[in-house]
Amino acid sequence: MIGVLALQGAFVEHVSIYGGLHVKTKLVRLPEHLDDIDGLLLPGGESTAISLLARRWGLIEPIRAWINSGKPIWGTCAGMILLANKLTGKMKEGQEIFGGLDATVYRNYFGSQLGSFSAELESTLEGHDHTKYKAVFIRAPAIVQHGPSLEILATVRPKRTSKEAESEAELHDAIVAARQNNILVTSFHPELTHDTCWHEYFLHMVFAATTSQ
């Protein structure tokens, strides 16, 4: 069973996609909702609001424990921000994050809501022709630095110029999907397309984890 964090954001869309794949889901709003699920999905939304609500409902430490235990977790857009060990870019002071991903994530890397766009991915995801996959980016983050254990799954060419970039790294292809052991992150919104390959990829992660126990 896949648990979908349902504090704020696009959790309904993820539930709908997994329903179409005949996969059981459970809305996670309290710590006890983590007890009988096999994988946890953190949806896109407002990362600051999600972290504040997670603190209010006592989910910060349980989700950190979930991550540290090696159980599968997938963060999309805001979820990527919350799973990073370090953030850069504009942010509110004191935002809590779950951490776990050995990476620095740049919030709103591609700009504001007006800068939302779709793009074809350059991806190493197995079993799918991503030359035909268009990802939807909405105030999306990107990974700008990472450790050696991170596996890059998809990149996209940024639209920044040398004058707009704050570092040389921002002029190269932006990392928009990656995996580190039990942690999967995507800066785009797979729930807003009809292509279910990323949801299926996470299912494979969950299946592999449960069968190895």
Q: Which residues are 118's β-sheet partners?
A: 136
Task: Choose, from 77, 146, 199, 200, the residue flagged as catalytic.
Answer: 77
What is the residue whose two structure tokens read 């299912």?
A: 203
* Separation between Cα atoms, residue 122 and residue 115, nearest integer Å: 20
d(CA 155, CA 142): 9
Q: Catalytic residue among 14, 33, 189, 199, which? A: 189
Query: Of 14, 191, 199, 200, which one is the catalytic site residue?
Result: 191
- Which are the contacts of 37, defined by CB distance < 8 A and separation ≥ 6? 1, 2, 3, 26, 28
Q: Quote the CA–CA distance of 159 and 137 in Å, as a whole number.
A: 13
- 191 noted as active-site residue: yes
Burial class of 126 by CB neighbour count within 10 A (0 to 12, 13 to 18, 19+): exposed
Residue 58, phi-psi category: left (phi > 0), alpha (psi -120 to 50), beta (remainder) = left
Positions annotated as catalytic residues are 77, 189, 191
